[in-house]
């Protein structure tokens, strides 16, 4: 069976689920979208269509948007999953709800079918206990928007079969991803652990009055931003010649924040019910229309950086063979 002939189920059609469905449709799969929440069942078709049209406009599609749309089923009937080879769960990050969802998935698919969670908060080994034949369960973690980012984090739980994880890893390349495969189920996964170390340090600098939010963001945009997409952090060290880092490790490590506390600035955000650009209340102030403008800028930028990243991954593959 050709890989594109595998049908894939997506359970949960919120923001993330819709965007994952689009990513899988573009890769050529038939997608069975299960919408356990009636509101999502109503909104998802339009959202997915909009995203496909956006991809079409951005030149990311081989065929017209309608071709992909015709391969999508949206339903609340878990029975529709019966011809799927892979099912991806992306419902809310609540343990008990996921447990219920898994029961419904398991009872509607064969014992060989891969079941995956898009969670970035709950350990895979912990979710695995809810799955019969747990060796076919793993984490597949997309970045938003799933159809226009190359990131994909595949995480094994305690009982995941390495062979099945490898199979998903290979499949993900056909989705246009640059997947990573995490063999241990560490809390926070790779990207969260790395990013949260930055958040800890950045928030600590803001709280101590050492630097402003704006300056920290500028530093990252124009320093790290000028190389990270090409090479990541360890290749950067090789590029810069390695030896200067040693001296700086010695002086900077002891100065870094080791705090486990929730930063006060985040507590304040919680108190004022700030949801960032969703309600124009956040770490930054937002004037009328500004939140919307950021959304639009992100949508444009995302396409540009996606194409740029691709150019360099191919170039490197050729040059660096």
Tell which one of 1, 2, 248, 288 touches a second copy (CB under 8 A).
Answer: 248
Q: Least distance in Å: CB of 302 to a second copy?
A: 6
**CA-CA distance, 17 to 151, in Å (whole number)?**
16
When binding is defined by CB under 8 A, the residue of 107, 239, 264, 314 that contacts a second copy is 239
Count H helices and E strands in the chain, helices first: 12, 8
Between 32 and 303, CB nearer to a second copy: 303
Asked if 242 interacts with a second copy (CB under 8 A), we say: yes
What is the C-alpha separation between 108 and 77, in angstroms, rounded?
10
Shortest approach of a second copy to residue 227 CB, angstroms? 7
Interaction between residue 100 and a second copy (CB under 8 A): no
Is 151 a residue that touches a second copy (CB under 8 A)?
yes
Interaction between residue 317 and a second copy (CB under 8 A): no
State how far the Cα of 198 lies from the Cα of 143, in Å rounded to an integer: 18
| Interacting residue with a second copy among 4, 42, 195, 264 (CB under 8 A) | 195
Q: How many CB atoms lie within 10 A of CB 207?
A: 13
Rounded Cα distance, 126 and 187, in Å:
11
Token pair belonging to 248: 């700086």
Please report, as residue ranges, which positions from 253 to 312 form the binding site for a second copy (by CB under 8 A).
Answer: 253-263, 266, 269-270, 274-278, 282-284, 286, 290, 293-298, 300-302, 304-306, 308-309, 311-312
Residue 30's SS3 state is coil
Q: Where are the beta strands (DSSP E) in the chain?
A: 7-11, 31-34, 72-75, 84-89, 114-117, 137-142, 151-156, 178-182
CB 308 within 8 A of CB 229: yes
Considering only the stretches 1-9, 53-61, 73-81, 200-208, report the one whose residues sit in contact with a second copy under the rule CB under 8 A. 200-208
Closest contact distance (angstroms) between CB of 283 and a second copy is: 5
Name residues contacting a second copy, limited to 17-76 (CB under 8 A): none
Nearer to a second copy, 23 or 108 (CB): 23
Asked if 247 interacts with a second copy (CB under 8 A), we say yes
Nearer to a second copy, 41 or 281 (CB): 281
Q: Are 11 and 88 in contact (CB under 8 A)?
A: yes
Characterize 250-282 residue by residue with b for buried, 16 or more Cβ atoms within 10 angstroms of its Cβ, and e for exposed: eeeeeeebeeeeebeeeeebeeeeeeebeebbe
CB neighbours of 131 closer than 8 A, spacing ≥ 6? Answer: 102, 106, 115, 137
CB of 126 to a second copy, least distance (A): 12
User: For a second copy, which residue of 4, 42, 211, 264 counts as binding (CB under 8 A)?
Assistant: 211
Asked if the bond preceding 38 is cis, omega within 30° of 0, the reply is no
Report if residue 197 touches a second copy, rule: CB under 8 A. Answer: yes
Out of 43, 97, 174, 231, name the contact with a second copy by CB under 8 A.
231
Is residue 227 a contact residue for a second copy (CB under 8 A)?
A: yes
DSSP string, 138-177: EEEEE-SSGGG--EEEEEE-TT--HHHHHHHHHHHHHTT-
Rule CB under 8 A: which of 109-148 touch a second copy?
120-121, 143-144, 148
Among 75, 170, 245, 264, binds a second copy (CB under 8 A): 245
CB of 77 to a second copy, least distance (A): 30
């Amino acid at each position: 069976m050709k890989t594109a002939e595998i049908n894939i189920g997506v359970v949960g059609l919120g923001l993330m689920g819709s965007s994952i469905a689009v990513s899988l449709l573009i890769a050529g799969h038939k997608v069975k979208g299960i919408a356990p929440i009636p509101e999502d069942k109503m909104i998802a078709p339009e959202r997915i269509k909009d995203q496909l049209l956006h991809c079409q406009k951005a030149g990311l599609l081989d065929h017209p948007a309608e071709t992909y749309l015709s391969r999508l089923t949206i339903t609340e009937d878990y029975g529709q999953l019966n011809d799927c080879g892979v099912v991806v769960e992306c419902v809310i990050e609540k343990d008990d709800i996921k447990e219920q969802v898994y029961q419904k998935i398991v009872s509607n698919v064969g014992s060989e079918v891969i079941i995956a969670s898009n969670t970035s908060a709950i350990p895979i080994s912990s979710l695995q206990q809810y799955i019969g034949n747990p060796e076919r369960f793993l984490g597949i973690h997309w970045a938003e928007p799933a159809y226009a980012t190359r990131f994909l984090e595949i995480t094994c739980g305690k009982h995941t079969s390495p062979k099945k994880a490898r199979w998903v890893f290979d499949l993900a390349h056909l989705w246009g991803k640059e997947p990573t495969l995490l063999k241990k189920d560490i809390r926070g996964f790779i990207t969260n652990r790395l990013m949260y170390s930055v958040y800890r340090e950045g928030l600590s600098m803001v709280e101590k009055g050492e630097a402003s939010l704006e300056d920290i963001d500028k530093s990252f945009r124009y320093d790290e931003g000028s190389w990270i997409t090409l090479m990541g952090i360890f290749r950067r060290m090789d590029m810069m010649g390695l030896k200067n880092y040693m001296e700086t490790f010695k002086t900077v490590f002891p100065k870094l924040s080791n705090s486990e506390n929730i930063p006060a600035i985040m507590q304040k955000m919680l108190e004022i019910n700030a949801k960032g650009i969703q309600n124009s209340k956040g770490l930054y102030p937002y004037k009328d229309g500004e939140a919307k403008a950021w959304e639009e800028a992100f949508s444009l930028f995302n396409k540009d950086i996606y194409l740029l990243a691709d150019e360099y991954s191919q170039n490197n593959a050729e040059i660096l063979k």
